[in-house]
Each structure stands twice: as C-alpha cells, then as structure tokens.
C-alpha cells in the first residue's frame, strides 16, 4: 500500500538522541513489509517552519500523494484538529492513529483526538469501554510487538548477569540500588544512568548478552511506555487542546455528537488509572527481549498472560523480594532459563511481530495488504526535503 506516515523521526523530536521508538518499530517494519511510505516527520517540519506551515504541508502532501492510508502517531498538540479531519472527510483518505498511552492518558488526551480519525488503535483493554462511552466505535485493540526485521537472536556469549535498559524514573533507581545491595550484579543503561544511552544496535546486543533482562514497569503519570511525557504537563496540554478542537464537529465521522468540553471538566482529575484500578501496562520491551532470544524477568502487566505463558515463556516478579529470589534462582538454573528464553523467542516470532500486528489492523479497516519481504523504499518529508 501507499502510506502517508505522520510521526516523529527522532526521539522527543531531538536529533541528538537518535531515531524514535516509532521509527525503529513502526516505520522500519512497514517499509520492510514492502509498503510505499511517504515519511512526514511532523516534528522536524514544525521545528524548522512552524506549526501552521507544518499543518498546511500535511494537507498539501495528502492531496498530492493520495495515499491508501494515513498512519499517524500523535505526540501532543502539534496538529490542528481541523486539518486532521479535513484529510479524513474532505480529501477522503483512510486515517488511523496509534494511541500509545491510553492506560493513563485517555481522559485528557486520546478521547479529544480520536474523533479526528476514521480509525484508532489502542493497546489498553481498559480503554475500550471508555471509547464506547464517548460514542467512538472504530477502535482496534492491538498491542506492542517485536520488529523482527530489526531485533534478532545473535548467539553471542552472555557477558552480563542482569541488565536493565531504560530511564531511571519513578522507583526504578531505588529498585536497582536494592538489587545491588543484595549482591546482585546489575548493569544499567539509559539517559539518567552513569553508563548513559546506548544505540539501538548496542541495545539488541545487550539483550542477547544478558542472562536475565529486567523489565521494570513504572507508575502512570510518570512516563508513557516510551518515557515521553510527564503528568505535570498534562493540564497545560489539555487546555491547549480544548482551545483548538472544534467541539461542534467532534464526532462527525461517527455521526454522533459529543460535548468534549463538558466531559473534560468532569473528568479532568481522572487521568492516571484505567477502569478497575491501577494496573501496569505492557511495554514494547516485553516483546523485544524475547524477540532477541533473551530471558525476560518482568513486573506483572495488564493482560500479559494473553500474550505469553507466564513461567514458561517469560517470568514475572511480584515485588522486590520475589525479584531477588527469581534472579538468584534463574542465574543458578541455566537449563531452565535457556528453555524459557527459547520458548519466549518462538512464541514472539509466531504471534507477536509488528508484521503480524499491521496485517491484522489493515484487514480490520478493509485495506488489502500487498506486503512482501523486501523494502520498496520511500521518501521522507522532513527538514528541507520535499516529501
């Protein structure tokens, strides 16, 4: 298919931090599936030319290229809601947005933007009744996955006992300090740790070289799955969203009216926990580590047992004491650890690849998938490029 891909190329929109999660996972997988991608790097365009120019440019590119699909990954409020709706309603392009943070950012973010798109994707089971409550029904429940065109098993020697890659927000630094206090040798990488950030290639190697890969989930309101935005910024972002979204056209594409202003004021304080109380959300790391053949020790997450057989394909800990016990156990029992890592690897390749996720999504929205194994190339619309 010909896809207008509107997402940030760089992490946080900062080139010095390297490519974004979306670039490494969504774009990289789509291009290697053989889709013809028009890359609209909205953050680079906004930074160079301004918000109004970037939004006008999106309309120009959509009209000129007439893609089969506009696949969008929103960040905050860079787009004009009216522009997104024009692409859907006036130009007539099928539009779909992947919402990354519905576990904790639905009330003050996702529900305001969903009406701008013909379809949305959520990874949060808890968000489904919330979408239904606002009268939005074109919702696809999907999940993070592993981009097996990039992440791979490398058969490297295992040089590390326990590793963690990620930012030290929330209680993560305390957890790592507690592990080290018990004598467990934990290596850490990521912005905020002494070792600093690692490249994507180095991260994949570390997954392969670790006997145990830790996945530490964080409390909602601290960070998104990709460590992007804090809850302290939510109120100001919401205020700007409410100023920019034309409520009278809120649910035109679904044929239902919605008073977003009233709903925003009534639920402004309820933005950090999904229905049914607090649960941790599944992270991309949950699939990336097994996809590299690594052994994953992770905190419990919402519906994780739907994706892996706990104890046989990945291992979960309940608290810090349980984590310590399981680290010590699996460091001593190599055969069990290796068997679990192998089973997790096979399950990931069988069921949890982005190639499979995207094929399922495209089938649900009625677009014929003509993907192949090799890339057809594409163009990038960022900076000074014409795109």
Q: What is the DSSP string of 77-94?
A: S-S-HHHHHHHHHTS--E
Rounded to an integer, what distance in angstroms lies between the CA atom of residue 294 and that of residue 207?
Answer: 6
Rounded to an integer, what distance in angstroms lies between the CA atom of residue 127 and that of residue 293?
Answer: 31
pLDDT of residue 380 exceeding 90: no
Rounded to an integer, what distance in angstroms lies between the CA atom of residue 124 and that of residue 303?
Answer: 9
Work out the pLDDT band at 217, boundaries 50, 70, 90: confident
Query: What does the block give as tokens for 323?
Result: 């984590």
DSSP structural state of residue 208: H
Contacts of 374 (CB under 8 A, 6+ apart): 32, 34
Query: What does the block give as tokens for 374?
Result: 């090799």
Model confidence over 282-296: pLDDT tens digits?
Answer: 999 999 999 999 999
| pLDDT confidence of residue 105 | 94
| pLDDT confidence of residue 279 | 59
pLDDT of residue 374 exceeding 60: no
Work out the pLDDT band at 157, boundaries 50, 70, 90: very high
Rounded to an integer, what distance in angstroms lies between the CA atom of residue 367 and that of residue 356?
Answer: 14
Domains 2-141+230-268+367-381 and 160-221+278-351 share a fold: yes
Rounded to an integer, what distance in angstroms lies between the CA atom of residue 5 and that of residue 70?
Answer: 6
Q: What is the DSSP string of 295-352?
A: -EEEE--TTGGGTS-BTTTBEEESSHHHHHHHHHHHHH-HHHHHHHHHHHHHHHHHH-
Work out the pLDDT band at 373, boundaries 50, 70, 90: very low
Using DSSP, state whether 286 is helix, strand or coil: helix
**Which has more confidence, 246 or 207?**
207
Work out the pLDDT band at 234, boundaries 50, 70, 90: very low
Contacts of 99 (CB under 8 A, 6+ apart): 74, 105, 106, 109, 110, 113, 114, 120, 121, 122, 123, 127
Work out the pLDDT band at 169, boundaries 50, 70, 90: confident
Is the distance from CB of 358 to CB of 29 less than 8 angstroms? yes
Question: What CATH code is assigned to 2-141+230-268+367-381?
Answer: 3.40.50
Crossing angle of helices 320-332 and 334-351, rounded to 10°: 110
Question: What's the predicted TM-score (pTM) here?
Answer: 0.82
Domain range list for the chain = 2-141+230-268+367-381, 160-221+278-351
The CATH H-level superfamily of 160-221+278-351 is: Glycogen Phosphorylase B; (3.40.50.2000)
pLDDT of residue 346 exceeding 70: yes
């Amino acid at each position: 298919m010909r896809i207008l891909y509107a997402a940030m190329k760089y992490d946080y929109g900062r080139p010095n931090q390297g490519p974004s999660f979306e670039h490494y996972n969504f774009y990289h997988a789509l291009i290697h599936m053989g889709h013809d991608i028009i890359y609209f790097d909205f953050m680079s365009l906004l930074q160079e030319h301004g918000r109004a120019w970037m939004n006008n440019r999106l309309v120009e590119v959509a009209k000129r290229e007439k893609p089969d699909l506009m696949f969008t990954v929103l960040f905050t409020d860079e787009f004009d809601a009216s522009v997104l709706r024009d692409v859907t309603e006036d130009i007539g392009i099928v539009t779909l947005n992947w919402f990354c943070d519905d576990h904790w950012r639905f009330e003050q973010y996702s529900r305001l933007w969903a009406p701008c798109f013909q379809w949305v994707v959520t990874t949060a089971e808890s968000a489904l009744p919330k979408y239904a409550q606002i009268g939005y029904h074109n919702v696809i429940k999907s999940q993070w996955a592993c981009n097996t065109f990039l992440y791979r098993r490398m058969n490297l020697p295992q040089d590390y006992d326990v590793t963690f890659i990620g930012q030290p927000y929330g209680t993560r630094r305390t957890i790592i300090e507690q592990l080290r206090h018990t004598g467990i040798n934990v290596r850490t990488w990521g912005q905020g740790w002494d070792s600093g950030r690692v490249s994507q290639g180095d991260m994949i190697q570390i997954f392969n070289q670790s006997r145990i890969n830790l996945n530490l989930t964080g409390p909602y309101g601290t960070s998104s799955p990709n460590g992007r935005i804090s809850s302290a910024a939510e109120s100001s972002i919401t205020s700007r969203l409410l100023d920019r979204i034309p409520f009278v056209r809120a649910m035109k594409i679904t044929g239902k009216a919605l008073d977003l202003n009233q709903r925003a004021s009534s639920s402004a304080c309820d933005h950090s926990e999904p229905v049914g109380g607090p649960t941790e959300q599944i992270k991309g790391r949950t699939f990336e580590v097994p996809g590299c053949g690594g052994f994953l020790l992770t905190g419990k997450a919402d519906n994780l047992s739907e994706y892996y057989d706990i104890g046989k394909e990945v291992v979960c800990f309940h608290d810090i004491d349980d984590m310590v016990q399981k680290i010590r156990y699996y460091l001593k029992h190599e055969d069990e650890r290796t068997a679990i890592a192998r089973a997790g690897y096979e399950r990931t390749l069988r069921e949890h690849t982005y190639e499979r996720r995207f094929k399922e999504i495209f089938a649900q929205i009625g677009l014929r998938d003509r993907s192949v194994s090799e890339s057809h190339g594409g163009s990038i619309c960022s900076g000074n490029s014409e795109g």
